[in-house]
Structure 1
Amino acid sequence: MYNITFKFEQKGLEPLTLSNVSSNQSLLEVALKNRIELHHNCGGVCACSTCHLYVEQGEDLVEELTDREEDFIDRAVNPRLNSRLGCQCVLQPGNGNIVVTLPDQTQFLGE
């Protein structure tokens, strides 16, 4: 089971920590199940970059970055070395702490 902390670049949103999160689901799925808005224009199939996030801690607890994911991250707004796509960060069996930061997505409104 995992503890996952979601931080937000958007002003006015406080960090949220979820406890006892089970493996075999993506960070996108975890966010949506917990009413955390994370855009996902392609439906979570690694065909866009709208579920872009930053993994601050726990990179080793999710599936490894693939070449396809890396190609889409290159198209994301403000990519960093710790950029990932939420739909591709599937929690591996095990436990630990994961911290992610969600970019301010208000810039995507209207696209």
Structure 2
Amino acid sequence: MPVIKVLPHAEYCPEGTTISAPAGTSICEALLENDIPIEHACELSCACTTCHVVVREGYESLGELDESEEDLLDRAWGLEPTSRLSCQAILAQRDVTIEIPKYTINHAREKN
């Protein structure tokens, strides 16, 4: 089962953590299932950029970007060459390291 190393994020994961999830799971699903409350305003439907992550290691092991994800990523804050929408980044067998950017374009969000 692949491992996701989450680098520290002041709000969502202050200490950083390591979680595991089955291959075929999106990074966003894995984070949410492990109590890391990453924003996901469109409910994982590839319609926003609030679940944007930067993949620091293991990028090439994730499923390929489709055109919809590529178009949306252009709007993400802090875009980098290894940026992905975590709702669309599907785990394979290789471990990945991710960083959740400090900001999103979602200026008004509801707290649970």
Q: TM tier, shorter chain? A: 0.7 to 0.9
Contact 2:52 2:85 (8 Å CA) reproduced: yes
Specify the alignment match of 2:32 in structure 1.
32
Runs (5+) with no aligned partner, structure 1: none
Aligned to 1:22: 22
2:101 counterpart residue number:
103
> Which is strand-richer, 1 or 2?
1
- The answer on whether the counterparts of 1:8 and 1:103 sit within 8 Å (CA) in structure 2 is no
Task: Determine the structure 1 residue equivalent to 2:7.
Answer: 7
What is the TM-score with the length of structure 2 in the denominator? 0.85
Task: Tell me, yes or no, if the aligned pair for 1:6 and 1:15 is still in contact at 8 Å.
Answer: yes
Aligned to 1:86: 86
- 2:63 is aligned to 63
The answer to whether the 8 A contact 2:77-2:104 is kept is: no
**Partners of 2:35 and 2:107 in 1: CA distance:** 18
- Give structure 2 stretches of 5+ with no counterpart: none
* Amino acid corresponding to residue 98 of structure 2 in structure 1: V
Greater RCO (Cα-Cα under 8 Å, separation 6 or more):
1
Which has more helix, going by share of residues? 1
Q: Classify 1:88/1:42 alpha carbon distance in 2 versus 1 (closer, same or farther; 3 Å).
A: same
Determine the C-alpha separation between the residues in 2 that align with 1:8 and 1:35: 14
Task: Extract structure 1 runs of 4+ deviating beyond 2 A.
Answer: 8-12, 105-111
The percentage of aligned residue pairs carrying the same residue is 33
Query: In structure 2, do the counterparts of structure 1 residues 106 and 89 end up closer, same or farther at CA, with 3 Å as the change threshold?
Result: closer
CA distance in 2, matches of 1:39, 1:105: 10
Q: Is the 1:59–1:98 contact (alpha carbons within 8 Å) kept by the matching residues of 2? A: yes
Q: Tell whether the 8 Å contact from 1:52 to 1:85 is kept in structure 2 after alignment.
A: yes
Q: Indicate the SS of the match to 1:68.
A: helix
What secondary structure sits across from 1:96 in the alignment?
coil
